[in-house]
Amino acid sequence: MCPCTSTVRNSMRTGGAPSGTLAPELRRLMSAADSSAIVISVSGEEREVTAKTAAELFADDPKIVVARVNGVLVDLSHELSAGDSVEPVFIHEPDGLNVLRHSAAHVMAQAVQEYRKDAKLGIGPYITDGFYFDFDVAEPFTPEDLKKIEKSMIKIIKSGQLFRRRVVTHDEAVAEMANEPYKLELLSLTQGPGSGADAAEGASVEVGEGEITIYDNVHPKTGETVWKDLCRGPHLPNTKLIANGYALMRAGGAYWRGSEKNPMLQRIYGTAWPTKDELVAYKERIAEAERRDHRRLGRELDLFSFPKNIGPGLPVIHPKGGVIKREMEDYVRTRHIQEGFQYVSTPHISKEDLFYTSGHLPYYADGMFPPMELDNGHYRLKAMNCPMHNEIYRSRGRSYRELPLRFFEFGTVYRDEKSGVLQGLTRVRMITQDDSHSYVTKEQAPDEVRHLLKFMLSLLEDFGMTDFYLELSTRDTEGDKKDKFIGTDEQWEEATAVLEQVAKETGLELVPDPGGAAFYGPKISVQAKDAIGRTWQMSTVQYDFNQPSRFGLEYQAADGTVQEPVMIHSAKFGSIERFLGVLTEHYAGAFPAWLAPVQVIGVPVAEAFNDYMTEIADKLRAHGVRVEVDYGSDRFTKKIRTASTEKVPFILIAGGEDAEHGAVSFRFRGNKQENGVPVDEAVARIVEHIRNRVNEDPKPSTEAAE
Ligand SMILES: [Zn+2]
Ligand SMILES: [Zn+2]
């Protein structure tokens, strides 16, 4: 971009069109002054235009906020050249939303620096549904601070400040950012090999490949630069486009460049949407997620807790949570046996050497707890079960006739997660995996991966998760990160090709995850969407060519030669604790009857019917149904309320009319009632609903339903 033309254009824009798009008269004047039309392609269509910039080209539609020129996302002020291929980007498209959110982050940072003069800027990228910005400030931000910052954002937004891109040299950038030590650090990283793109998570919004740019926030009337930031852009043409829907959500600490060795900065999270309705909907989604938070529900429903005296990331499961956990375990144990797995069991600690053999040391050292002294040597808590299964494999000679040989166990593993990342049951230090290892010949590997994927998907469906995509995690192929993975290029390619092929066959969406593999091989993970559309990583299957050779695993092939098997790791729930947490949120604590800690609660209308209700409960108990009768002294209506807050799937009511006719009444969620159902029929309906593992709420029978 030529700096002088940009100066001319900018001064016209500030003088004439505060909204950031040119007034029509001005455009006419410009084209009259310069009649040199150019031919460009607009959304794939060749056009002769006099527009000098994307802003002029798309001046008619204020929803177009940036443009893609020759495949690169640019500001609307970008100057067009003959032969350019130009596409409009609307504010509601993914790229448009990202630009909106990053622009909102700039406005927030400007507001913060007005309010806290000491604030030094960290980075401020867009993220899913919003943005954040990190600041070095003396005092953390309080909720009151956020309100004040939000208020001063209104002023900035309404004033319609223009975002203006300016290319600078490295030395100019250093001079302009002299008071921003973190920006100077990012600039210094752009000088070295590999540039600044990897400098910090999110730092690519500031610096990266190509020229260094600063974005000025320019007052539309005075033309004065009121704030600026080192930034790659692009940005909205002006701040007014943020006005419809933005909010600051919360603040918290975050280490500069994600490392504990660096200073702790204060991060403010915000959100921005093209319309107010979308902002409201987003806030409702957040509120719904809070309503479903398994940590809160776990306490309210007496399922599990996180005692401080035991330690962070070490949950205890209470009797009611224990019922759900046992149902999950019973299910998965039975399924594994049906799918050809043999049940095994291994210790929780072992000699440290075992993990050197497997490669977990040093490759997974960060995830393991420190060693303990025992018998003049070091022992370790296990972080994975595979090394122990390998010991079972090599406990005797194996023949090709035994393959696939499949071991399964509920293996509790221990991971040294930093206390900052622990979260309820979904990120813990003690994980019980429904862990399996299939030992196969190389030829059998694709079929075994297919078999495991099918198993995993059907398991998730049985638990009511039906919306999935797959992720294919591969190793990092560049730089020193490559050294975190063991094995040759050929081995990785071969293993990845097998997983990719089988994943594609499912017809599910397949998303690449470069760098996400385990050190010993690539992985497919099933990402399941919950009831409110959030994605959780559930089952995983990994192809491992490393551990068999490190452990010297062998089998005798049909031709009498000795061969090395391939090992396929798989966990279906992933972690039982985590799955329990996810299920709690998916069902908002209202578990399907087959999983519910209490499946039926009997509420006699008055004390006179206690015995009658007990008889019905006994009949259900005889079928293995988990049933309770509320004999308490509360009034009937209070008992019904209690049963529904405890989210018991079946509420049975018995009163005079029921007792007279050998019947019972159902009370369903949403207060629907079905009266006078013969007891045997009621029992049969409940038993069938549970036995069939129906995940939907019980409903009135068709005759009774309106
Ligand atoms: Zn920026
Ligand atoms: Zn494993």
**444 and 561 fall within a common domain:** yes
233 Cα to the center of ligand 1, angstroms:
6
Choosing from 528, 561, 587, the residue where a domain stops is 587
pLDDT band at 6 (very low <50, low <70, confident <90, very high): very low
Closest CA to 301 of 292, 288, 310, 309: 292
3-state helix, strand, coil in the chain (%, to 5): 40, 25, 35
538 Cα to the center of ligand 2, angstroms:
15
**Is 231 within any annotated ligand binding site?**
no
**259 and 321 fall within a common domain:** no
**Cα torsion for 609, 611, 616, 619, to the nearest 10°?**
180
Question: Which ligand is in closest contact with the Cα of 567?
Answer: 2
CA distance 368 to 378: 13
How many structural domains are present in the chain?
4
Choosing from 587, 608, 634, the residue where a domain stops is 587
| Within-domain flag for 61 | no
DSSP 310-329: T-TT--EE-HHHHHHHHHHH
| Within-domain flag for 384 | yes
**Is 2 within any annotated ligand binding site?**
no
Q: Mean of the per-residue pLDDT values for the chain?
A: 90
pLDDT at 9 over 80: no
**597 and 641 fall within a common domain:** yes
**263 and 220 fall within a common domain:** yes
* CATH number, domain with residue 470: 3.30.930.10
pLDDT at 93 over 80: yes
Tokens representing 481? 């990160």
**308 and 436 fall within a common domain:** yes
Question: Which ligand is in closest contact with the Cα of 520?
Answer: 2
**pTM of this prediction?**
0.75
| Within-domain flag for 272 | yes
On whether the CB atoms of residues 523 and 473 are closer than 8 A, the answer is yes
pLDDT at 705 over 50: no
**82 and 98 fall within a common domain:** no
Question: Which ligand is in closest contact with the Cα of 435?
Answer: 2
Closest CA to 77 of 37, 20, 159: 20
Options 161, 266, 433, 542, the catalytic residue:
433
The Cα-based distances of 607 to 603, 610, 618, 651 in angstroms read 10, 5, 18, 17
**312 and 345 fall within a common domain:** yes
Helix (H, G, I), strand (E, B) or coil at 146: helix
List strand residue ranges (DSSP E) for 377-509, in order.
Answer: 377-381, 405-414, 430-440, 467-474
| Within-domain flag for 31 | no
567 Cα to the center of ligand 2, angstroms:
8
| Within-domain flag for 4 | no
Could you list the residue range(s) of the whole structural domain that residue 119 is in? 94-288
On whether the CB atoms of residues 338 and 455 are closer than 8 A, the answer is no
pLDDT at 10 over 50: no
pLDDT tens digits along 36-76: 789 999 999 999 999 999 999 999 999 999 999 999 999 99
On whether the CB atoms of residues 505 and 547 are closer than 8 A, the answer is no
**Is 294 within any annotated ligand binding site?**
no
| Within-domain flag for 16 | no
**459 and 543 fall within a common domain:** yes
**313 and 407 fall within a common domain:** yes
pLDDT at 196 over 70: no
CA distance 108 to 104: 6
On whether the CB atoms of residues 272 and 130 are closer than 8 A, the answer is yes
Q: Residue 275: how many CA atoms within 13 Å on its side-chain side?
A: 5
Token pair 């529900």 is at which residue? 297
Per-residue pLDDT, averaged over 69-86, amounts to 94
Closest CA to 295 of 521, 549, 584, 690: 584
Has 231 been annotated as catalytic? no
Options 380, 406, 415, 429, the catalytic residue:
415
pLDDT at 689 over 60: yes
253 Cα to the center of ligand 1, angstroms:
20
pLDDT band at 532 (very low <50, low <70, confident <90, very high): confident
pLDDT at 421: 78
388 Cα to the center of ligand 2, angstroms:
9
Which alpha helices (DSSP H) does 339-419 contain, by range? 352-358, 360-363, 386-393
pLDDT at 15: 34
| Within-domain flag for 327 | yes
pLDDT tens digits along 413-445: 999 888 777 889 988 999 999 999 999 999 999
**625 and 532 fall within a common domain:** no
Q: What are the CB-based long-range contacts (under 8 Å, 24+) for 249-252?
A: 249/130, 249/286, 250/146, 251/140, 251/141, 251/142, 251/145, 251/146
CA distance 299 to 318: 10
**610 and 684 fall within a common domain:** yes
Choosing from 548, 563, 587, the residue where a domain stops is 587
* CATH number, domain with residue 265: 3.30.980.10
pLDDT tens digits along 335-348: 999 999 999 999 99
Has 52 been annotated as catalytic? no
Helix (H, G, I), strand (E, B) or coil at 192: coil
How far apart, in Å, do the first and last CA atoms of the chain sit? 69
| Within-domain flag for 34 | no
570 Cα to the center of ligand 2, angstroms:
7
**236 and 319 fall within a common domain:** no
pLDDT tens digits along 279-308: 999 999 999 989 999 999 999 999 999 999
Token pair 């009649």 is at which residue? 35
pLDDT at 207: 67
* CATH number, domain with residue 600: 3.40.50.800
Options 435, 544, 630, 658, the catalytic residue:
435
pLDDT tens digits along 388-422: 999 999 999 999 999 999 999 999 999 988 877 78
Q: What are the CB-based long-range contacts (under 8 Å, 24+) for 696-701?
A: 696/592, 697/590, 697/649, 697/668, 697/669, 698/593, 698/649, 698/650, 698/666, 698/668, 699/668, 699/672, 700/666, 700/668, 700/672, 700/673, 700/674, 701/674, 701/677
